[in-house]
Amino acid sequence: MDVLVVGSGGREHALAWKLAQSPHVERLFVAPGNGGTAAVAHNIPIAATDIPALVSFATRERIGLTVVGPEAPLVDGLADALAASGLRVFGPTAAAAQIEGSKAFAKRLMIEEGIPTGVGAIFDDYETARAYLRRQGAPIVIKASGLAAGKGVAVCRTLEEAEEALYRTMVERAFGAAGDLVLIESCLTGEEASLLAFSDGITVTPMIPARDYKRVGDNDEGPNTGGMGGYAPSPYLPPPLVDEVSQRVLQPAIEGLRRRGTPYVGVLYAGLMLTSLGPRVLEFNCRFGDPETQVLLPLLESDLLEVLLACVEGRLEEIELRWKPACAVCVVMASRGYPGDYEKGREIAGLAEAAALPDVVVFHAGTAPANPDGTGERLVTAGGRVLAVTATAPTLEEARQRAYEAVGRIRFEGAHYRRDIGVGASAAVQRTGPCWREWVS
Ligand code: GLY
C-alpha cells in the first residue's frame, strides 16, 4: 500500500520512520516533510494546510492511507475532504476534531459525559470574565478556546498575571479568533501524564502512558513551548490507573462523540493531571502528541500500519498492541530564541555521530537541506524545535543518559535544550523498581 503522512515536525518523522518499517508499505510520502523524513520517504512540497492539493495528490497517486499529523488540517476538514473523494484517512472529521479545536466544546463534552476535569467557566465577554477572575483569585489558568499552536494556555501564579493573560487573549486578540471564547479554570497540581489511545469510533485501545515537558526551561520555568522532551512509559500511571482513565475518560469521550453523530476515528490524546483526588483531564488533542510520538513509536512493537488500518476499517477490537520491554527518553534541541522569534539557517553537525549510538534515533523537526536545491547532505536549522533526540534502553535512567550523550554529540549555533527530562521519573522508578515489565504484553 502507498501511504501519505501529512505534516513536517518530529512527530511526522517518527510516524514515517515507523511506517517505513512495515512490510505492507510500498511507497511512503510526507507532505511537506523535513530534512529527516527525506531519508525514509519522498517529501512532497505541499503544505499540511493545503487541503485541495493534498486531496488531488492522494487521488492522483492512489494513496491507500493518509495519516494526518497536525491538528489544524483536521479541524479544517482534511479527513472529511479525503473521505468525500473515496480515500482512506487516519484522523478524525472536523466535527469530531472539535474536541481539540474548541476547548469550550471539549469542556462541555466532559461535563455532560461526567469526565473528571478541573472546575472552570467559559466566557465570550471580557468584563464578565474579568469579574469572575477577580472573584476566583490566583493561581488560575486562562485558556483561549480555539487553536493557538500550543500558546493559548497561561498558567498564572498571580492575579496580575492572569488579568494580563485575559487582556492579551480577549482584548488584544493575541491569538485572533481563537481567543474570542475563553476558559478560566482552577489550577490543578500533581504529576502530568499524556495517555494517547487509538480508536475506530467504538473500541478504544490506550497506548502506554507518556509525559511531555511544555515549559522551555529546567524545573518548568519559562514560557510554554510545543514540547521540549518526553519519556515513556510513565511510572506515575501504572496499568490499573490506565484502565481507570480508559473507562472514566477515553471511553466516555468516544461514546459521547458517537452518540452525538460524530464518531471519532484516530488518536485521542488525553492530557492529564494526576491530582491527589485522582486523574483530571487538562485537555484533549485530536492527534498524536509531539514529542510523545517520538517516545511511543520506538517502543511500539506492533506494525503501525496494521493498527491504523484496523482503526479506519472499524475492527480495532481485533488488535492487541505489543510494546517493547524498554523505556524511551526524548530531548528536544531548539533554536536560539525559541519559543519566541528564533534563528534559522545554522548548520547542524554531529547527527551521524549521535545516531551511531546504540538504540538512538534522531528525529528531525525544523531541519532543511543547506543547499536550496535540496542536493547534498548538509542540513541547517529551519524551525524553532530542530531535533528530537530519542534513546531507548531497559531502564528510564539508561535511556535518559544515552539520550543526553547523543545530544552532546550534536552541535548548531544557539542550540538549547532542557537538562532535566525524565529526572524526576527516573528517581521515582529507582525508588519503586523498574516499571516496564508491567507493560510487556
Ligand atoms: N505534547 C503536546 C502536544 O502534542 O500537544
Reduced to 3 states, what is the DSSP secondary structure of residue 281? Answer: strand
Distant-in-sequence, close-in-space partners of 94: CB < 8 Å, separation ≥ 6: 74, 75, 76, 77, 79, 80, 101
Cell 491569538 -> residue: 175
Would the CB of 283 count as within 6 Å of ligand 1?
no
Distance CA 331, CA 433 (A): 23
- The one-character DSSP state at 366 is S
pLDDT tops 80 at residue 394: yes
Give the closest residue (by CA) to ligand 1 atom 4.
289
Would the CB of 292 count as within 6 Å of ligand 1?
yes
Q: Which of 212, 209, 280 is nearest to 242 (CA)?
A: 209
The pLDDT assigned to 376 comes to: 77
Cell 498492541 -> residue: 321
Q: What are the boundaries of each domain within the chain?
A: 3-94, 125-180, 191-440
Specify whether the backbone of 379 is left (phi greater than 0), alpha (psi in -120 to 50) or beta.
beta
**What one-letter code names the amino acid at 243?**
D
Provide the greatest CA pair distance for the chain.
Answer: 60
Distant-in-sequence, close-in-space partners of 64: CB < 8 Å, separation ≥ 6: 1, 2, 3, 88
**What are the tens digits of pLDDT across the range 80-98?**
999 999 999 999 999 999 9
Range list of β-strands (E), 89-152: 89-90, 120-123, 140-144
Specify the range with the lowest mean pLDDT, choosing from 121-125, 221-225, 293-297.
221-225
Q: Which of 216, 137, 145 is nearest to 176 (CA)?
A: 145
**What one-letter code names the amino acid at 157?**
R
The pLDDT assigned to 21 comes to: 98
- In this prediction, residues 269-293 reach a mean pLDDT of 97
The pLDDT assigned to 374 comes to: 72
Residue 438, CB-side half-sphere exposure with 13 Å CA sphere: 18
The pLDDT assigned to 151 comes to: 83
Distance CA 353, CA 331 (A): 16
Identify the helix (H) or strand (E) that includes residue 273.
Answer: strand 265-275
Would the CB of 200 count as within 6 Å of ligand 1?
no
The pLDDT assigned to 432 comes to: 59
Confidence of residue 430 (pLDDT cuts 50, 70, 90): confident
- How many residues in the chain? 441
Model confidence, pTM: 0.96
Q: What kind of fold does domain 191-440 have according to CATH? A: D-amino Acid Aminotransferase; Chain A, domain 1 (3.30.470)
Distant-in-sequence, close-in-space partners of 427: CB < 8 Å, separation ≥ 6: none
The Å distance, Cα 291 to ligand 1 centre, comes to 7
pLDDT tops 50 at residue 441: no
Distance CA 310, CA 316 (A): 5
Instruction: Please say whether the beta carbons of 171 and 126 come within 8 A.
Output: yes
Which atom of ligand 1 is nearest the CA belonging to 11? Answer: 4
Give the closest residue (by CA) to ligand 1 atom 5.
289
Identify the helix (H) or strand (E) that includes residue 58.
Answer: helix 51-60
- In this prediction, residues 254-274 reach a mean pLDDT of 98
**What are the tens digits of pLDDT across the range 119-132?**
999 999 999 999 99
Would the CB of 227 count as within 6 Å of ligand 1?
yes
Q: What is 3-94's CATH number?
A: 3.40.50.20
**What one-letter code names the amino acid at 290?**
D
- In this prediction, residues 149-165 reach a mean pLDDT of 93
C-alpha cell belonging to residue 73: 488540517
Would the CB of 10 count as within 6 Å of ligand 1?
no
The pLDDT assigned to 98 comes to: 98
Specify the range with the lowest mean pLDDT, choosing from 187-191, 290-294, 429-433.
429-433
**What are the tens digits of pLDDT across the range 27-64?**
999 999 999 999 999 999 999 999 999 999 999 999 99
The CATH superfamily label for domain 125-180 reads: ATP-grasp fold, A domain (3.30.1490.20)
Reduced to 3 states, what is the DSSP secondary structure of residue 278? Answer: strand
Q: Which residue has the higher pLDDT, 110 or 371?
A: 110
Equal fold, 3-94 vs 125-180: no
Instruction: Please say whether the beta carbons of 268 and 236 come within 8 A.
Output: no
- In this prediction, residues 7-11 reach a mean pLDDT of 98
- In this prediction, residues 401-424 reach a mean pLDDT of 97
